[in-house]
Amino acid sequence: MYNMVEINFIINGSKMTKRIKPSTLLVDFIRDDLKLKGTKVGCMEGECGACTIIIDGTAINSCMYLAININGKNVTTIEGLGTVEKPLDLVQEKMIAHGAIQCGFCTSGVVMTTKAFSEKCKNEDKIPTRDEVKKSLEGHLCRCTGYIKIIDAAEAVYKKQ
């Protein structure tokens, strides 16, 4: 039988303990074990960004990360952004308002990257330039929108906060 290991972590604000196979990929753990299907899989090679989530404030590709590495960490997926009182985060509101969503398959990842980057900018008290915004989204592939509306939406977030 497999050697199972125990991991403790916070996911979308709740503490959790799970036993997993050490070789489990984080994206599979999130989608198949935790049933959080909002995180998407586009390539499993770290190339498309669809699987992006936030760990301790940093956006990462969950397909390139082993689940055991979230032990002791704070994980946020797309499901963790809104609250019952306020179901949409500012990033999500701006994505909608700027028409940044077509098929929506890249959207979860784009939102998570933008969220992490916006928190970082807020902490550093800076508004990124358009080129910096573009750069921050470089790891995301989107076949529908041509990126412009996504970049516009992200810029609107940084300006608003």
Residue with tokens 């700027």: 98
44: left (phi over 0), alpha (psi -120 to 50) or beta: left
Instruction: Please choose, from the candidates 149, 117, 111, the residue with its C-alpha nearest in 3D space to the C-alpha of residue 133.
Output: 117
Contact between 53 and ligand FES (CB under 6 A)? no
Binding mask 1-40 for ligand FES (x = CB under 6 A): ----------------------------------------
Our finding on whether 128 is near ligand FES (CB under 6 A) is no
Instruction: State which of positions 13-72 bind other proteins (CB under 8 A).
Output: 35-45, 47-48, 50
Q: What does 51 interact with, of ligand FES, other proteins, none (CB < 5 to 8 A by kind)?
A: ligand FES
What is the spatial distance between Cα 121 and Cα 101, in angstroms, rounded to a whole number?
23
d(CA 157, CA 55): 21
Residue 135 is a binding residue for other proteins (CB under 8 A)? yes
**Rounded distance between C-alpha atoms, residue 155 and residue 94, angstroms:** 9
State the Cα–Cα distance between residues 80 and 103, nearest whole angstrom.
Answer: 21
Gap between the Cα atoms of 4 and 56, Å rounded: 24
Q: According to CB under 6 A, which one of 21, 46, 79, 93 is a site residue for ligand FES?
A: 46
Which of 22, 56, 146, 159 binds other proteins (CB under 8 A)? It is: 146
Residue 67 contact among ligand FES, other proteins, none, beta carbon within 5 to 8 Å by kind: none
Chain residues binding ligand FES by CB under 6 A are: 41-44, 46-51, 61, 63, 101-106, 142-145
